[in-house]
Amino acid sequence: MLARSTRSMQAVDVGDNVYLPVSQFDRSKGDTPNIVGAVLAVEDSGYVIGTKSGIINGKLDRNQFEFVQYKGLLPENIPKQQLSIREILRAGSVCGGQGYKRCLCLSNCLSKWCSSLKCSLRCNSACHGHKS
């Protein structure tokens, strides 16, 4: 079994870029299904992966990511802070992480009670499905 997995997975070196698939439970609907990362260190206990938001907590096994030929992320451009996968997704998210923020206002959302206005977001059809 070990020989078969070694043949099927391409070896990665320090500096190679990889895709880290993210579970649908860790991301929101608008987020990307993969995180682009770079291999920072190869050790016996696993691989240290860094992204443009920071370094992923812990070490990953080879079967948890895929090698890509993309060379856009360099190890020198990775911040030295340790973050969890959800924190990395939240930093690169369009909508602020898991879930969508929406208000439940019945009027025009002009007061500071509006949760969308507090977060400096524009209201959308998710907020006011009954209005055009």
User: Is residue 94 located within the same domain as residue 105?
Assistant: no
Q: How many CB atoms lie within 10 A of CB 105?
A: 17
User: Is residue 66 located within the same domain as residue 8?
Assistant: yes
Q: Contact 41/56 with Cβ under 8 angstroms?
A: no
What CATH number did the domain enclosing 38 receive?
Answer: 2.30.30
User: Is residue 6 located within the same domain as residue 42?
Assistant: yes
Q: Domain containing 65: what range?
A: 2-98
Strands 17-21 and 34-43: antiparallel
Segment 69-112, tens digit of pLDDT: 888 888 898 999 999 888 888 887 666 656 555 666 666 666 66
Does this model's pTM top 0.75? My answer is no
Segment 20-53, tens digit of pLDDT: 998 877 776 777 788 899 999 998 888 999 999 8
Three-state DSSP at 63 gives: helix
List C-alpha distances in Å: 111 to 41, 107, 119, 120.
Answer: 51, 9, 12, 12
User: Is residue 86 located within the same domain as residue 110?
Assistant: no
